[in-house]
Amino acid sequence: MYKVFVNDKPLFLTNEVQKETDFQLFLLESVDIKKLIVKIFQNKIQKAFLYHPDEKLIMKTLKAKIPVVKAGGGLVYNKKGEVLFIFRNGKWDLPKGGTEKNETIEETAMREVEEETGVNGLSIVKKLPKTYHVFKRNGRYKLKQTYWFEMKSDFEGIPEGQIEEGIEKVAWIKPKDIPTILDNSYENIKLLFEFENVI
């Protein structure tokens, strides 16, 4: 199952029909994906399953209908085991950003972490699951596919948020405080922590 968040509401691409659920179910063959996304954006649908026996085909169809933006980001630990968070648009988030020409996705993720937080001395530990969310910019919907990497850093200084990216705060958060931070974060960020078992 792919989990795609539209305006922080779940649209799950699935090949299993779930019984007893409050999700609305749509069939790939008969749904207008763009209209479905608009309805979720307008809060007319709170959560939905998009069904087809072939999950990969659902994702392929979604990507054919909505332009894809690739991004890379980092879940960064320091020597004390704290995690690097940024605060922007009223929510806690992890540093990430779009790819540049001739850049590998790993290079994108490391560059974005450094640019958005000032934290350097980074090394990639492992790949994490990709996350997907639909956003609207200049009246157009886009699907952001973010490649995440667990990283470690030996950075000792004070992190600084990139002002031009609207980052108000950068903080190293202790594992015990992460659940509180996640209460004011995005669903796809919460997914990463479920996978990581940090908390």
pLDDT at residue 175 is higher than 90:
yes
CATH, range 68-196: 3.90.79.10
State the CB neighbour count (10 A cutoff) for residue 59.
18
User: To the nearest whole number, what is the mean pLDDT of the chain?
Assistant: 94
pLDDT digits (tens, 9 = 90+) for 84-102: 999 999 999 999 999 999 9
The single residue listed with the structure tokens 């008969």 is: 30
DSSP helix/strand/coil, 85: strand
CATH 3.90.79.10, the chain: domain bounds: 68-196
pLDDT band at 197 (very low <50, low <70, confident <90, very high): low
pLDDT at residue 190 is higher than 60:
yes
pLDDT at residue 124 is higher than 80:
yes
Cα dist from 76 to 28, 41, 53, 114, 117, whole Å:
37, 31, 37, 11, 11
pLDDT digits (tens, 9 = 90+) for 25-68: 999 999 999 999 999 999 999 999 999 999 999 999 999 999 99
The answer to whether 85 touches 93, Cβ cutoff 8 Å, is yes
Burial 72-96 (b: 16+ CB within 10 A, else e): bbbbbbbeeebbbbbbbeeebbbbb
